[in-house]
Amino acid sequence: MSLKYKIVPVTPFEQNCTLLWCTETHKAAVVDPGGDLDRILAAAEDEGVILEKVLLTHAHIDHAGGTAELAKSAGLPIEGPHKDDNFWIQGLAMQAQMFGFPAPEVFTPDRWLEDGDTVTVGNETLEVLHTPGHTPGHVVFFHRGSKLAQVGDVLFNGSIGRTDFPKGDYNTLIHSIREKLFPLGDDVSFICGHGPMSTFGQERATNPFVSDHRG
């Protein structure tokens, strides 16, 4: 497979930070470095990959808390999320205080992402889908070649993202899942922000919030 991944759970929230890399170039992206950077860097070293960039699905602290430090120490550009999550980035110190995290540095992504954009990892290209609901600027990364999606906190195995945070919206989230993610195909596997992987087909069949059979 031309794109490989390794999930590295970080922070007390056990957030699924992910190393994604191109097998041809060994260049890698770190998706959602929420913290525990030593663990992330050790995983990169174990796999023999060269860090190329940081990709962010959204700016909640368990996903974005280690971003500034990693980008600065490793000289990496930051791509994502969508600019509607800027208020979450500006509020990182407040988030840290609220959830008992170390206070992170605020940062400005080198590139805000829009629906329909693409990002590269080595020679591989991932499609960007803007999927608001959990946060207004949430994005999903989709690698069509390996039928793999990185969905952050939009959808989980058997559940969906919370919508009770500022600017979260339940109906918007359901729309993002059903109209943006499910059409990508039942056979698409996805890495979510917390917990085990699943497929869109399994969630369409069994997820009580978004299945085709929900009451």
Type of residue numbered 85: D
- Token pair belonging to 13: 């929230």
Domain 3-206 fold is Metallo-beta-lactamase; Chain A (3.60.15)
Q: Does this model's pTM top 0.85?
A: yes
Alpha-carbon torsion, ordered 169, 58, 130, 107, to 10 deg: 120
- Annotated domain spans of the chain: 3-206
Per-residue confidence band for 213, with pLDDT thresholds at 50, 70 and 90: confident
pLDDT single digits (tens) 74-89? 999 999 999 999 999 9
**Is residue 163 within 8 Å of 113, Cβ to Cβ?**
no
Whether the pLDDT of residue 214 is over 70: the answer is no
In three-state form (DSSP H/G/I as H, E/B as E, the rest C), the secondary structure along 65-95 is CCHHHHHHHHCCCEECCCHHHHHHHHCHHHH
DSSP 123-168: TEEEEEEE--SSSTT-EEEEETTTTEEEEETSEETTEE----STT-
Identify the residue whose tokens are 């060994």: 26
**Is residue 83 within 8 Å of 115, Cβ to Cβ?**
no
What is the per-residue pLDDT for 2?
Answer: 93
Cα atoms in the Cβ-side hemisphere of radius 13 Å centred on 14: 3
The size of the chain, in residues, is 215
Whether the pLDDT of residue 154 is over 90: the answer is yes
pLDDT single digits (tens) 86-108? 999 999 999 999 999 999 999 99
Query: Whole-angstrom Cα distance, residue 69 to residue 74?
Result: 8
